[in-house]
Amino acid sequence: MRIWDIEPSRLCRNHLLGEHRELHAIWNVITKDKKGYSRHPETLRWAGRLKALYMVHETLVSEMTARGFNHHSPLEKELATGSPVQDTYVDLPARQCEIIRAKGCDCKV
């Protein structure tokens, strides 16, 4: 489970769509008080920062739309509370680029 701190335009198809799917999972865990993945470090870093997570979602959706994907899973904007800034990381962005590079995919990192 991961939300990359990398511009969505740099992500390959699989990472772009995977991040969108995982973002929805984290959103649901936090907003619906679900137990699954509630203690995962990636989920914990978004607690209190749903506004920032919402903004990441909107950026992902813009990139998905630019690539011709249809999007039918909007987030509830009224739940986007807390800090609009994410400054907590599981891995720093430079390390995230290393992780993606090692996967050998088409990401532009």
pLDDT digits (tens, 9 = 90+) for 34-63: 999 999 999 999 999 999 999 999 999 999
pTM: 0.95
Answer with the residue of higher pLDDT: 1 or 82.
82
Q: What is the pLDDT of residue 1?
A: 84
Write the DSSP symbol of residue 49: B
> What is the C-alpha to C-alpha distance for residues 79 and 32, in angstroms, rounded to an integer?
10
CB-count burial class (<10 Å; 0-12, 13-18, 19+) for 105: middle
The Cβ-side half-sphere exposure at 48, using a 13 Å CA radius, reads 4
